[in-house]
Amino acid sequence: MSVLVQTLDRRGDAPRAARGCVREFLRGARSAELVADVEVVVSELVTNAVLHGVGAIELRLELVDGGVTVGVLDGGRGRPRPPGTRDDDEGGRGLALVAGLTKDWGIRPSGTGGKEVWAVLPSLDGR
């Protein structure tokens, strides 16, 4: 089992930094598609933390049975929820992307009063 924990500053470039962490963590992964999917999920969750969260952002990645578990923590108490989007809306599709790319995802309280938004991406061989 391999684990990465990285603190990100609450800045506009945090999603880009998080994608770099994903690429480094999954260097040598057999599946470029899995790496790309993890990058999208991490980017969406970190973007939400930057826009709607509070305090520092912590990115957690864990490699389990060929799949990846992602956690994005911040100090905000608000709970993300997929908004009802219309075709002409410019935003609001991030959590729908997360749901479509993951085996499961959700929100849980963190031990520090904030929250963790987590997601599980299965290995591409179906495990």
92 membership: H or E segment, kind and range: none
Residue 72: predicted pLDDT: 97
Distance CA 55, CA 36 (A): 27
Q: What percent of the chain has pLDDT over 70?
A: 85
Distance CA 85, CA 103 (A): 22
Residue 127: predicted pLDDT: 45
How far is CA 82 from its chain centroid? 15
> 14-50: string of b/e by CB count within 10 Å (b at 16+)?
bbeebbebbeebbeebeeeebbebbbbbbbbbbbbbb
Domain ranges, ordered by start, for the chain:
2-121
Which CATH code for domain 2-121?
3.30.565.10
CB 66 within 8 A of CB 78: no
Question: Residue 76 gets which letter from DSSP?
Answer: -
What global pTM score does this model have? 0.87
**pLDDT, mean over the chain:** 87
Residue 126: predicted pLDDT: 47
Residue 117: predicted pLDDT: 95
Low-confidence ranges of the chain (pLDDT < 70): 1, 80-92, 124-127
